Amino acid sequence: MNTLVEQLPKLTELVNILTKSYDFAQSVATDDVLKNDTVSAISEIATPVVGSVKGLAANAIEAKDRAEANTDVIGLFGLLRMMKDPQAQKLFRFAQAFLEVSSERKNQK
């Protein structure tokens, strides 16, 4: 009983902190303005990402369909022509940078 009486100030402080935390959580959970603002912010961030992913997926599906339909043989000169394409150059630069970053991170470990 003496121990309980000795610890009573600490228990009171703990209960006060928990009460304040509960009150804060309750006010946040019931604040409709905060909920709406949070949903709006997430939607603003997610909408462009979803659009980009959908566009990328559509391009990949169309490219796959075209590649399956095309039975032409790509020779050396065809590869050389493709290497001049700006999109191919962008892809090659990305691949090169990715490999450089991967190598640097591997060497850091």
Domain ranges in the chain?
Answer: 74-109
Residue 73 corresponds to which amino acid? Answer: V
In angstroms, the CA 32 to CA 28 distance is 9
State the pLDDT at residue 6: 87
Tens of pLDDT, residue by residue over 13-58, are 999 999 999 999 999 889 999 989 999 999 999 988 888 999 999 9
Encoded tokens for 58: 């559509």
DSSP 3-state of 50 = helix
Contact (Cβ atoms closer than 8 angstroms) between residue 57 and residue 51: no
pLDDT of 4 > 90? The answer is no
Token pair in block for residue 3: 């121990």
Q: Which of 61, 60, 67 has its CA nearest to residue 82?
A: 67
Per-residue model confidence (pLDDT) at position 92: 94
Mean pLDDT of the chain: 91
Angstrom distance (rounded) from CA 83 to CA 76: 11
Among the residue ranges 4-13, 59-68, 90-99, the one predicted with the least confidence is: 4-13
